[in-house]
Chain A
Amino acid sequence: MASRVVTPERITDTGPRHKNPLIKYVLRYKWHYAGGFAALVFASVLSMLPPLVLKIAIDDLTAGTTVSRLAALGGIVIAIALVESAIRFGGRLLVSSRARWIEYHLRDDLARQFLRLDRSFYLRSRTGDLMARATNDLNWIRDFMGPTVNDIWFTVVMLTVGLTFLFSIDVRLTLLSIVYFPFVAGVVIYLETTLEDKFRLVQEQFGHLTNRAQENVSGIRAIKAYAQEESEVESWAADNRELMRRALSFGRWVSGFFPMMILATGIGTALVIWFGGRDVVAGDITLGQFVQFNVILRMLASQLTVLGWVVSAWQQFIASLGRINEILREEPDIDEPAEPRVLDTIRGDVAFEGVTFEHDGRTVLDRLDLRIAAGSTVAIVGETGAGKTTMVDLLTRVFDPWEGRVTVDGVDVRELSLQRLRDAIGVVPQEAFLFSESLHENISFGRVDPPADDVDEALKTSQLSNDLEQLGGGLDTLIGERGVTLSGGQKQRATLARALLKRPPILVLDDSLSHVDTNTEEEILRRLRVFMAERTTLVIAHRSSTLAAADRIVVLEDGAIAEDGTHEELLAADGRYAGYYRRQLLREQAAAEERELAVEDQGQSGTAAGDRADEEGAQS
C-alpha cells in the first residue's frame, strides 16, 4: 500500500474565488449608480422650487399683482415639474434596473455554483434551504440595492438641500424647527432595536410553530394510533397563544411608530406657526416665506419617516448577503486537475488499487483491489451496504478515495478532466431520475442533438421503442409532473437509453433493471451484449439471468472482495455466491407464481398498487 493518502482537507485549500461578488457588480455598474445619484440631487433641488414659486406668488399677492403674472408663475411650476419628473424617472430607472441586473448576476452565480459543487456539499445541505437562498435572500438584496439605496440617498440629499433652503430663509426659525430632529432619530433607532428584538421573538415562535405543524402532519399515524389528537390540538393552541402574545407585544410597539412620527413632525409645524407667525408680523420674513417654510418642512418630515424601515432593511440585507456569500464561497472537494492528462481514446480498462473509503465514520471500502479488462462484463454482488454503489461513485469521481486510486486505462481518474472522465462512463443509477421534459430531451441528456440512428439504436437496445406508441406523444411525450408518469420499468429503461446514447466505452448498471420484467430484461441483455461487445460493462445486479450472463462475478463483503470468478466456478465452489444465487432463484420463482396469480385475477396493476400502498402503510 504505497499509494498516497488523500484526505478531503487537502483538496479544499484552494481558497475562495471572490471575496464579495456583490462589490464586483456594484463596481461594474458604478456609473449607473453615480448617474442615478446625481439625478436625485438635481431632482431634490428642483423639488424645492415649487415652494419658492408659491412664496413669490403669495408675496406678490400681498403686494398686489396681476392674473397674467400668476399664470406665468403657474407655468413655471409645471415646467419645473416636467423636468423634475423626467430626472426622477431616469434616476430611479438607472438605479433600480441595476439592482435587477445584480439580482440576475447573483442568481446566475448561484446556479453555476450549484452545478459545480459536489455530493459532499449536497449531503450537508437541505434543498429547501438552498432554494430559499436563491429566492428570498436574493429578493432582499435586490430590494436593498434598488429602492432602499435610492431612498437612503434621497433622504440624505433632501435633508441637505431642504435645510439649506430653510437656513437661507431664517436661521433662527430653522434651528427651532429642527431641534427635535435628533430626538426623532434617537426614538427611531431605539424603536428599531426594540422592534428588532420583538420581531425576532415572533419569528422564533413562528419557526417553532412551523416545526410543530411539520411534526404533526408527518407523525399523524403515531398521533392517531395513540389517540393523541386532543393533546396535539391543545399544544398547538398553546403555541399559537404564545405566538399571539409575542405578536401583540411586537404590535404594541410597531403600531406606535407611525403615530409618533405624526406627532414629531407636527410639532415642527406648530413651532413654525408660533415663532414664524411672530417673525412675519415683526417683518423679519414675508408671509410667502412663512408658507414656503411650512411646505418644505412638511416635505422633509415625510422623507424622515423613511428612516424607520431603513435600519431593518439593512439588517435583512446583511443577513441575506451573508447567506448568499456562504454558498458562493464553497469549494467542491472534487477538483479539476490543474493539468489534466489527455487521452484520445479510452479502451475501458478499469482498476481499483488499494482503495479505501470511509463515510460517516464507517469503512465502506477496505483496501479494495480489482482489475477489470476492457471489453469484459463484470457483475458485482453483495448485501446492502457492502460498498457496491460506492465503487461506482469512486469511478465517476462523485467521491474521491481516502486511500489508493481508481484508474481508467491505467490513468488515475483524478488526473483526467471531469468532463473527459464522465464522458467515458455511462451510468444507469439505482434511482431512475428523469427530468420533467420530453422523453427525447431526457434520453439525449448526455448528448445534445444526437443523430437519429443513434437514438433509434439506444431505444431498441433499451427496449423502449415498443412503449413509444403507448405514451401518446412518442419521443415528444412530456415526462414527470406536468406530463406522463412512466412506470418503474419504463423509467429504468429510459435511463438506460440515456446512458447508451452517450456510446461510452464504460457502462455501469447499478441495480438498474430491477423494475423491468424478466422477459424484457433478457432481451435487453441480449442486445447489450452486441452493443457492448468492445466496451466494459460493470453490473450491480441481483437477478439470476443477469448474473449468469456476466463474464465474471465479484462478491463484495464488508468493503472487500470475498469471491471472484466466473458464474460456473463460483457455483462449483459452493461458497457465498452459490448460496446467494440459490436464494435468488427461489425468490424469483415465488415472484413468478405471484405474477401468474395476478394475471388470473386480471389485477396486474392491482398488485403493484397494493405493494406500494402496503409499503407506505408500514411507514410512520
Chain B
Amino acid sequence: MAMAFNEEDELLGRVYDRALAARLLRYVRPYRRAVWIAVVLLLFIAGLELVGPLIIREAIDGQIAQGRTDRLAPLTAVFVGSLVLLSALRYSQELLMVYVGQRVLMDMRLELFTHLQRMSVSYFDRNPVGRLVTRLTNDTAAIEAVVSQGLVTIFTNLLMLVAIVGMMLVLDWQLALVMYALLPPLVIVVRYFAAKQRDLFREQRMWLARINAYLNETITGITVVQLFNRERENLRRFDERNRGHLSAHLRFLMWYAVFEPTVVLFGAVTTASIIWYGGGRVIDASLTIGTLVAFTAYMQRFYWPLREISQRYSGIQQAMASAERIFGILDEPEEIIDPAEPRHLTDVRGKIEFRDVWFAYVDENWVLRDVSMVVEPGESVAIVGATGAGKSTMTALLSRFYDVQRGQILVDDVPIDQLAQQELRLHVGIMLQDPFVYTDTIEENIRLRDRSISPERVRAAAELIGADGFIERLPDGYDTMLAERGANLSTGQKQLLALARVAAFNPEIVLVMDEATASIDPDTEAVIQRGIHEVMSERTSIVIAHRLNTIRAVDRIVVLEHGEVAEEGTHEQLLAREDGHYARLYELQYKGQDVAPA
C-alpha cells in the first residue's frame, strides 16, 4: 500500500495540555534519577557559563588596567579549567538525556506494539496499515526528539537567561536595571513574531497537505487524467495549490527574516546603553572598565538562548499532536478478551462443533444464520458456496478472530471463548490462500520465526508436503531470502510455503483456504494437491474448496448459501439431487475441471 497522507497528521497539537503532559511524564518517571542528575548538571553548567566574562573583568580591572601581568597566567588557567569542566558537564548532561529519550522511545514503542498484538482482527480491518505503521515509527520518534533535545534545550536556555540576569544584578545593580528595561520590549517583539510565524507555519502545513492530497490523487488516477486529456487543467489546479504554498512561505519568510535584524538592533541598543550609561559611570569612577566589558560579554550571550527557545517550539507542537494520536490507540479497548480463568485442552482429539451460530460483521447484516455443524475427530469436511456465502467467515470464527453474536463454537466440546486465544490457535492451523510472507529466509517463513521449531522439523515439514523440491532448487535453499511480499516466489510456491507452515506447526485441526487463484502451472498444481491431501490426512480438517479433486477427497461436503447450511453429503449424494444447490454450483464452478487430468 502507498504511504498514507492523512490530513490529521499534518495538524499541530496544542503546546501545553496538562493531561497529555502528565501522561507523557509517566514515561519519563522510570528514569527520573537520570533526569534529576541532568537537572543538577544544568545548574552547574549555567553557573560555569558565567565564568568567562568574570575572568575578563578580573583580567582588565585587577591586572591590565593596573599595568600588571603577574596573575594573568593563573586567571587564564582558571578560565581554561572552567571551559574543560563546562564541556565535560555539557557532554554528560546531553548524553544522559539522549539515553533517557531513547529509553522512553523504546518503552513507548514496545507498549504500543504489544497493545496492537492484542487488538482483534476487526480493529485491523478498520485501520489502514499505513496509519498504524506511522504511529509505531514516526509519532514515537517525534516524542523522543522532544524528550532528548527539545525540553532540555529549552530548560538549559531558560536557566542561562536567569543566570545571566542574576549575575548582572550582582555585578552592578544599576546598570543591570538599565539592561532589564530593554527586555520587556524585546520579549514582546519576539513573542509577537513567534505568534505570527506560528500562524503562518500552520498555513504552510495546510497548503502542503493540499498539495499532497491533490498530487496523490492525480498519481493514483493518472490513467483517467491522461485518457480524458486533463493534463493541462489538472496542472492549472495543482498550480493554484503550489502558488498558495509559495505565498504562505513568502509571508512566513517576512517574519522569519525580520527576526535576525531585530536581534541585531536590540544588541546595538544594549551596546549603546552600556557605552553611554556605563561609560558615564566609569567617568565618575562608580564602575570599572572590566565590569563594563563583562556586561557587553553577557549581553552578547543573551540572544542565543532566546533564539533556540523559539526554534524548538514547533517541535514540541508536533510531539504533542503525536502523543495524542499514540494515546488514542493505547486507549482502544481490546475487543476479544481471554477468559479470566481459561480452560485447557489436553490430548486434543479435534472435534469441531458450530452450535446455532449467528454472526454479522456490522449490525444485523447476518453473514451466518443459525449455522450448526459437527465435524468428528479426523473427519474432513469441505465447505462450498458462492462468494459471500460466509465460508471464510466460518474459518475466521473458528480461530476466534471475531466473536459470534449468538450460539457457540466448540472444540472438543469446550466453547472456544473459554480458552485462551493463543492456546486455541495452536491447535487450529490455517493455510491461507495468499500467505503472509516475511522478508526473511524460507526457513524462518515456514516456522514464522518460532525458535521452538527446529530446522530439522522445518525440513521434515517441507518434505512431507513436497515443498522441498522447489526450495532446494533455490540458490540458498532454506536460507534463501524472500523479497517483500514474497515477490520472488510464484503463487504456487507461496501456497506450498503455507502448506509447509501448517505441517511444521502440526495442529490437530487444520483449516485450508483453497479458493480460486491465478494460473498455477500444472506441475506445481499437482504438488499442491498432494500437499493438501497430506496436510488433511489424519487431522480434523475443514477446507474452503475450489479444487474439485479436493472436494472429492473429503468425507463430507457442506453447502452454504446466504449464511445457512443448505445441503450436506458426499459429492455423489449431492450431485444425485435434481436441481440441488450443489448440482448448480458444480455446473458453474467445478465442471470445467472435470476434464482436467487428476
Interface centre among B118, B136, B221, B268 (most CB of A within 10 A): B268
Of the candidates B225, B279, B501, which one forms a contact with A57 in the assembled complex, judged by CB atoms under 8 Å apart?
A: B279
A54 touches B296 (CB 8 A): yes
Whether A228 touches B448, Cβ cut-off 8 Å, given contacts A233-B110, A619-B434, is yes
CB proximity to A under 8 Å, residues B72-118:
72-73, 75-76, 79-80, 83-84, 86-88, 90-91, 94-95, 98-99, 102-103, 105-106, 109-110, 113-114, 116-118
Chosen A-B contacts, 23 in total, with CB atoms closer than 8 Å, are A54-B275, A74-B273, A80-B268, A114-B219, A128-B2, A134-B215, A223-B436, A244-B102, A274-B73, A274-B76, A278-B72, A291-B296, A294-B56, A295-B297, A429-B227, A433-B224, A498-B228, A586-B584, A586-B588, A590-B584, A610-B365, A610-B563, A611-B388
CB pair A287–B3 under 8 Å, yes or no, is no
Residues of A within 8 A of B269 (CB): 78, 81
- In the complex, what residues of A have CB within 8 A of residue B258's CB? 89
A529 at the binding interface (Cβ < 8 Å): no
- A226-273, CB < 8 A from B: 226-233, 235-237, 240-241, 243-244, 247-248, 251-252, 255-256, 258-260, 262-263, 266-267, 269-270, 273
CA distance A492 to B249 in the complex (A): 41
Question: Min CB distance, A605 to chain B, in Å?
Answer: 7
Whether the Cβ atoms of A104 and B242 lie closer than 8 Å is yes
Query: Shortest CB–CB separation between residue A441 and chain B, in angstroms?
Result: 10
Candidates A101, A118, A227; contact of B425 at CB < 8 Å = A227
**Across-interface contacts of B84 in A (CB, < 8 A):** 263
B59 to A235, Cβ gap below 8 A?
Answer: no
B433 to chain A, nearest CB (A): 6
Which residues of B246-300 are within 8 A (CB) of A?
Answer: 246, 249-250, 253-254, 256-258, 260-262, 264-265, 267-269, 271-273, 275-276, 279-280, 282-283, 289, 292-293, 296-297, 300
- The segment from A174-182, A212-220, A318-326 that touches chain B is A212-220
The answer to whether A277 and B224 touch across the interface, beta carbons within 8 angstroms, is: no
B231, A58: Cβ atoms closer than 8 Å:
no
* Contact in complex: B226, A219 (CB < 8 Å): no
Q: Across the interface, which residues of A come within 8 angstroms of B233, CB to CB?
A: 448
Contacts of A67 in B (CB 8 A): 276, 279-280, 283
In the bound complex, how far is the Cα of B227 from the Cα of A425, in angstroms? 8
The answer to whether A127 touches B133, judged by C-beta atoms less than 8 angstroms apart, is: no
Given contacts A65-B283, A88-B261, A385-B519, 17 further A-B contacts (CB under 8 A): A96-B256, A100-B246, A108-B242, A111-B218, A127-B3, A218-B1, A221-B432, A225-B430, A231-B448, A231-B451, A240-B109, A398-B227, A598-B562, A610-B388, A613-B362, A616-B125, A620-B434
Determine if B60 is an interface residue (Cβ-Cβ < 8 Å). Answer: yes
A384 to B212 CA separation, bound complex (whole angstroms): 35
- Give Cα distance in the complex from A111 to B430, angstroms: 46
Q: Does B186 contact A (CB under 8 A)?
A: no
**One of B11-19, B391-399, B458-466, B549-557 contacting the partner:** B391-399
**Chain B residues, Cβ within 8 Å of A233:** 110, 113-114, 117
Report Cα–Cα, A398/B222, bound state, in Å: 11
Q: In the complex, what residue of chain B is closest to A118 when comparing beta carbons?
A: B226
A217 to B438, CA, bound (A): 12
User: B426 near A614 (CB under 8 angstroms)?
Assistant: no
Distance of B202 from chain A, by nearest CB (Å): 17
Interface flags for B331-354 (1: CB within 8 Å of A; 0: not) read 000000000000000000000000
Q: A93 to B253, Cβ gap below 8 A? A: yes
A213 engages B133 (CB within 8 Å): yes
Which residues on the A side are within 8 Å of B148 (C-beta)?
251
B195 touches A (CB below 8 Å): no
Confirm or deny: A17 has a beta carbon within 8 angstroms of a beta carbon on chain B.
no
Q: Give, as a whole number of angstroms, the nearest-CB distance from B388 to chain A.
A: 4
B64 at interface, CB cutoff 8 A: yes
In the bound complex, CA of A613 to CA of B421 (Å)? 22
Q: In the complex where A134-B215, A610-B361 touch, is A224 in contact with B425 (Cβ < 8 A)?
A: yes
